[in-house]
């Protein structure tokens, strides 16, 4: 039991350390990420680690519809399906790119960088919560979104050892999944 807890804690700590290094543009973050299938499986704990930030962002977004519990359930389902869906869809794409041996490292880095991306978006909301002018809030949001997108591209590029365009393609796939799920969720809430 203690070994399992120690592995769990070490996995989260090393994954977050890797992601924070990558968020600062430091390629050595990859050295702190697990690169085997077991590590890839453990890295999906990032879904739970990022969940409080997701819930906070959802609350700050003012998504209070006529059926809040239903709307929250749809948003939560989209959160999970989007996260797992990208990981699942990326595997055959990464294999087609000739990077199959690096898929585990890619998934580990991508999962933990998602947590940092959520944290960046939460930080971007702080100026608005403190009553800053709209221009400051908008600038903070643009910086956070830009940084989050750059982080995903940088992490993918390094983890897979690919050039700019393939990494951008995977970022585009991730964004497309998120946008499609958002549109589906809005259609279901509106019906």
Q: 100: domain range?
A: 2-190
Give the pLDDT of residue 191. Answer: 56
Give the pLDDT of residue 66. Answer: 65
Closest Cα partner for 20 from 122, 147, 161, 169? 147
What DSSP element (H or E) covers 125? Answer: helix 103-129
Domain count of the fold of the chain: 1
**Per-residue pLDDT reduced to its tens digit, 48-89:** 999 999 999 988 876 556 688 888 888 999 999 999 999 999
The secondary structure of residue 133, as a DSSP letter, is -
Q: How far apart are CA 64 and CA 77, in angstroms?
A: 17
Residue 22: count other Cβ atoms within 10 Å of its Cβ. 25
Please say whether the beta carbons of 147 and 22 come within 8 A.
no
What residues of the chain score a pLDDT lower than 70? 1-2, 62-66, 190-191
């Amino acid at each position: 039991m203690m070994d399992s807890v120690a592995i769990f804690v070490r996995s989260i700590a090393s994954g977050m350390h890797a992601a924070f290094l990558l968020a600062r543009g430091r390629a050595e973050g990859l050295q702190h990420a697990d690169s085997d299938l077991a590590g890839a499986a453990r890295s999906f704990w990032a879904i739970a680690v990022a969940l409080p930030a997701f819930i906070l962002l959802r609350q700050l977004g003012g998504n209070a519809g006529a059926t809040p519990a239903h709307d929250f359930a749809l948003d939560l389902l989209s959160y999970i399906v989007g996260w797992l869906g990208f990981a699942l869809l990326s595997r055959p794409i990464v294999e087609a790119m000739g990077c199959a041996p690096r898929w585990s490292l890619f998934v580990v880095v991508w999962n933990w960088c998602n947590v940092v991306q959520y944290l960046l978006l939460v930080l971007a909301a702080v100026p608005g919560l403190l009553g800053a002018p709209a221009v400051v809030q908008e600038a903070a949001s643009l910086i956070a979104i830009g940084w989050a997108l750059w982080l995903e591209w940088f992490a993918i590029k390094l983890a897979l050892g690919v050039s700019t365009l393939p990494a951008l393609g995977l970022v585009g796939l991730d964004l497309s999944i998120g946008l499609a799920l958002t549109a589906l969720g809005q259609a279901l809430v509106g019906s």
